[in-house]
Structure 1
């Protein structure tokens, strides 16, 4: 794992990256009496068919970073390429944010442009195990199933970039593992590039192709760490050794 080399690579952008983010500075209250530096010198890429995990302390500025790359915050110094309005980004939030008075299928179709709402979603529902639940309302579903619906709603938009904000939090181990598997399968099946924000280092080590480690506020790039071992061979011993190595090298970011 060469953190220094990857850090330079991320700062300069990678050929073929589906999304390149370079935030030189984001300051809240700039020019006021108490400006707050939220993000500084943070650059990384998201590649197609790859899962990138963004990891940093609570309150570091990860949510601010997501708002910038989604185009919800434009008051920053830096670049997002391609720009959010043309990047083809779909978002899955920590909370499923489903409409309680709409069925599973209606919730998914409402995310589509009106002209596309009649197209077939059979394959998508089947792939996510949602076919039997299409006519149910969200209140009849477990949290894990509701998050599957939220994932389906995002994937139905055929995005180039899928952004996941703590997508497995509060789930039991079996539900979290099942949803992680669906995300991995979606990457393989669609070629989408995934950016996942998580505090769970173990789940990041389990599925990520690369970790982007950021410091406490202001969020700055500390290192990018490639995880080159094939996911299917990442056994518990390797995962624990990898976490221990990261904790030793980056003690302020990765807990022992």
Structure 2
């Protein structure tokens, strides 16, 4: 584990974020500063986990990255309109009256909706479920469909907002494995927001730690050990080390 900056990865950066300030109700009687001096990048072929206290401003940051909030001081490069971003939310957000395959294809531009997706469905274990409706699927399988819908768009950047919350350990581990495989197979850059430090330590290439509101960059921490060598002892030692250095962000 090491504290690292972003400059060494500039040659493989999918997204650069610099939010100098984001204030709600600016100029009003009770302005709320949500983000201040938050700068980081999302490299390709890597998983970056954004971790911070509840209410820190992580959701505001995601809205800015997605282009849903443009009233801020700073920049996102490339712009959300051209960055090639796909999003997986906490809830699968599937259309109950559409089949699995229809839900995935509806995310594509109309001219591309008939292109072959056999390899994608096979890689995510969804081939037998293509004709089923979301109501027939477990929450874990629904989240696989949501991941398939995002990956079908062939994004350069995949943003995950607490994608494994409320899943049992086995389902969460399986879905984490699919995300890791997607990075290896496609080279996508992943930004995952999570409160689960253990899962971040398990799969992230680096952690972006942010303070309580207003969200500010505290540290960027590289996790250098290969994922298949991250045993329990290393994970527990890494968490304890993080907690000692960043007690307001990482709990013991």
Alignment CA distance shift 1:39-1:10 (3 Å): farther
SS in 1 for 2:148: helix
Unaligned runs of 5+ in 1: none
Q: Does 1:197 align with 2:199?
A: no
Runs of 4+ in 1 over 4 A off after TM superposition: none
User: How far apart, in 1, do the equivalents of 2:8 and 2:200 lie?
Assistant: 24
User: How far apart, in 2, do the equivalents of 1:190 and 1:46 lie?
Assistant: 15
The residue number in structure 1 matching 2:19 is 23
Q: Does 1:51 align with 2:37?
A: no
SS in 2 for 1:52: strand
Contact kept in structure 2, 1:22 and 1:44, CA below 8 Å: yes
Q: CA deviation at 1:78?
A: 0.3
| Number of residue pairs matched by the alignment | 252
Alignment CA distance shift 1:29-1:121 (3 Å): same
The residue number in structure 2 matching 1:208 is 204
SS in 1 for 2:11: coil
SS in 2 for 1:129: coil
TM-score by length of 2: 0.98
The residue number in structure 2 matching 1:89 is 85
Q: Does 1:254 align with 2:230?
A: no
Q: CA deviation at 1:13?
A: 7.7
Q: Does 1:237 align with 2:233?
A: yes
CA deviations over 1:127-180 (Å, ceiling 9, x no partner): 000000000000000000000000000000000000000000000000000000
Q: CA deviation at 1:12?
A: 9.6
The residue number in structure 1 matching 2:28 is 32
User: How far apart, in 1, do the equivalents of 2:25 and 2:36 lie?
Assistant: 15
C-alpha RMSD of the superposition: 1.1
Q: CA deviation at 1:65?
A: 0.2
Contact kept in structure 1, 2:2 and 2:224, CA below 8 Å: no
Q: CA deviation at 1:16?
A: 2.7
SS in 2 for 1:22: strand
Contact kept in structure 1, 2:159 and 2:192, CA below 8 Å: yes
User: How far apart, in 2, do the equivalents of 1:112 and 1:45 lie?
Assistant: 26
The residue number in structure 1 matching 2:221 is 225
The residue number in structure 1 matching 2:134 is 138
Q: CA deviation at 1:34?
A: 0.4
Q: CA deviation at 1:2?
A: 3.8
User: How far apart, in 1, do the equivalents of 2:99 and 2:209 lie?
Assistant: 39
CA deviations over 1:88-130 (Å, ceiling 9, x no partner): 0000000000000000000000000000000000000000000
